[in-house]
């Protein structure tokens, strides 16, 4: 059993560290509808953790709980071993948890560069008056942030569109810009809500490669939600499977693939 150890080594030889985030007995209700029912799992440092499940399983709700957009009625969230008090989304973001959205939430009126720059707002420390009066410090800070951003833009191969207004970009590139903005925050945990939804095969391959590269190059811990089983199995180190708000499987892709409950949920099971 993986979870008992203080970490583990993946098949391809990457070292996975201790628990970064732990969800304990999370229950989330919307009125009478139970979106998440008593789910516990953890995310370890440096791993790619996937949450999968059929439509309406509660995957996105789970991501929204982690990022503070939803507040669960029951259960506890531990971040770096400490219990997290109830927080607003912006406070969660300031703790080092960045995310992307299923339906892309970019600043459409701004250029790609400006969008990615907003990811570094929390690294801009000089205040309003300082910025107005003491130009040197603010300029130095701006330069440092610019450098960090340019590195990410290069990394995700979007140099050619850095000055383009985001509204004019095709879907696949928008997704990549959103990833760039999340990365610019140098997150301790990166949440990706269906990073490959609505993409064609080629775009999916690109995105998979970028996710792997990000994890490899920056050592970023990633939790992602995905529909496409094939993609998930190739990408992730460990997988949580949800169905109707409940956890029905948790383990390596191979373990999950051979889990009868998971097979039933995905392929349907005859009740005769």
Partner 1 sequence: MPDSLLFGTEVVLNGLMAGVLYALVALGFVLIYKASGIFNYAQGVMALFAAMTLYGIMVGQVPFSHLINAIFGTHIHHFGWEIPAILAIIVTVVVMVAFAWLVQQYIFRHLVGQEPIILFMATIGLAYFLEGVADLMWGSEIKALDVGLPQGGSFWIEENTQWLGMGNENFYGFFLDQLDLIATVIAAVLVIALVAFSQYTKQGRAMRAVADDHQAALSVGINLNFIWVLVWSVAGFVALVAGIVWGSKSGVQFSLSLIALKALPVLMLGGFTSIPGAIVGGLIIGVGEKLFEFALGPALGGATENWFAYVLALVFLVFRPQGLFGEKIIERV
Interface ranges with partner 1 (CB under 8 A): 67, 69, 88-91, 93-94, 98-99, 101, 105-110, 114, 117-119, 121-122, 124, 126-128, 131-132, 181-182, 185
Question: Nearer to partner 1 by C-beta: 99 or 247?
Answer: 99
Strands 238-243 and 48-52, bridge-based pairing: parallel
Question: Nearer to partner 1 by C-beta: 113 or 262?
Answer: 113
Question: Nearer to partner 1 by C-beta: 77 or 97?
Answer: 97
Q: How far is the CB of 84 from partner 1 (least distance, A)?
A: 15
Strands 33-44 and 19-30, bridge-based pairing: antiparallel
Question: Nearer to partner 1 by C-beta: 62 or 98?
Answer: 98
**Distances 227 to 73, 177, 188, 198, 199 between C-alpha atoms, Å:** 26, 21, 24, 10, 12
Residue 149 φ/ψ region, left for φ over 0, alpha for ψ in the -120 to 50 degree band, beta for the rest: alpha
**What's the CA gap between 64 and 76, in Å, rounded?**
14
Question: Nearer to partner 1 by C-beta: 87 or 229?
Answer: 87
Q: How far is the CB of 181 from partner 1 (least distance, A)?
A: 7
Q: How far is the CB of 94 from partner 1 (least distance, A)?
A: 4
Phi, psi dihedrals of residue 39, rounded to the nearest 5°: -105, 135
Q: How far is the CB of 269 from partner 1 (least distance, A)?
A: 37
DSSP string, 149-179: HHHHHHHTT-GGGTTSBGGGS-HHHHHHHHH
Instruction: For the chain, list the strands marked E by DSSP.
Output: 8-9, 15-16, 19-30, 33-44, 48-52, 74-79, 82-83, 97-99, 189-193, 221-226, 238-243, 246-251
- Cβ-count burial of 229 within 10 angstroms (0-12 exposed, 13-18 middle, 19+ buried)? middle
Q: How far is the CB of 119 from partner 1 (least distance, A)?
A: 6
Question: Nearer to partner 1 by C-beta: 182 or 256?
Answer: 182
**What's the CA gap between 100 and 180, in Å, rounded?**
10
Contact predicate 22/78, CB 8 Å: yes
């Amino acid at each position: 059993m993986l979870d008992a150890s203080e970490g583990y080594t993946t098949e391809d030889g990457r070292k996975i560290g201790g628990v970064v985030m732990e969800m304990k007995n999370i229950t989330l209700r919307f009125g009478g509808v139970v979106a998440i029912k008593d789910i516990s799992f953890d995310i370890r440092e440096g791993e790619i953790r996937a949450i999968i499940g059929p439509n309406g399983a509660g995957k996105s709700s789970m991501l929204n709980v982690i990022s503070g957009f939803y507040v669960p009625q029951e259960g506890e969230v531990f971040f770096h071993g400490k219990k997290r008090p109830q927080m607003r989304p912006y406070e969660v973001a300031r703790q080092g948890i960045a995310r992307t959205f299923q339906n892309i939430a970019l600043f459409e009126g701004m250029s790609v560069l400006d969008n990615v720059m907003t990811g570094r707002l929390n690294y801009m420390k000089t205040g309003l008056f300082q910025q107005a009066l003491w130009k040197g410090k603010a300029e130095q800070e701006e330069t440092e942030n610019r450098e960090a951003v340019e590195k990410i833009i290069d990394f995700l191969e979007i140099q050619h569109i850095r000055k383009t207004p985001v509204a004019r970009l095709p879907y696949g590139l928008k997704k990549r810009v959103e990833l760039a903005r999340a990365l610019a925050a140098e997150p301790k945990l990166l949440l990706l809500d269906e990073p490959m939804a609505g993409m064609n095969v080629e775009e999916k391959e690109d995105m998979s490669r970028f996710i792997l590269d990000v994890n490899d190059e920056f050592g970023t811990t990633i939790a992602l939600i995905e529909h496409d089983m094939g993609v998930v199995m190739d990408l992730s180190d460990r997988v949580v499977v949800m169905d109707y708000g409940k956890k029905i499987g948790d383990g390596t892709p191979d373990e999950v693939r051979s889990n009868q409950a998971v097979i039933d949920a995905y392929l349907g099971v005859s009740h005769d």
